[in-house]
Amino acid sequence: MNNNRNKKNINPISQEKTTVKDYFKLGVILAIIILFFVWIGVYLIEEKSDEVQYIREDYTITKGIITDITLYKGKSVTVKYLVNGKIYKESDGIDKKMTKVRGDSINIKYSNKKPELMISEYNWDY
């Protein structure tokens, strides 16, 4: 029985103090995560900017029909439009106050080279 008193109490959870080195590791990990999300944001903005520039090089203005308005994860409008006998259904962000509803017509600019690329009249880049 006396043998139990001499044994150290072993706790599976370490009681060690947090060191500066541990805080540094945590800081580096958090910095990497933040930089990753910043990089994704910059990439997506540049991609959209490239698409707008591509449309501006050679575009046609036409009318489309609003098929959906989405407020999930940002405001966007889905538009159905006809180019050379083919129907396209694409979405675009809404940057301006929207006064139209589903089923209304809307002005869009689409790329003559890639008609699937379009921007609506509610986009700042229109």
Higher pLDDT: 84 or 4? It is 84
Residue 109, C-beta contacts closer than 8 angstroms, at least 6 positions apart? 55, 56, 59, 60, 61, 118, 119, 126
**In sequence order, what are the beta bridge partners of 110?**
60, 118
- pLDDT for res 9: 56
How many angstroms separate the CA atoms of 21 and 4, rounded?
37
Helix H or strand E segment including 31: helix 20-57
Separation of first and last alpha carbons in the chain: 85
pLDDT digits (tens, 9 = 90+) for 62-101: 999 999 998 887 889 999 999 999 999 999 988 888 888 9
Q: State the pTM of this model.
A: 0.63
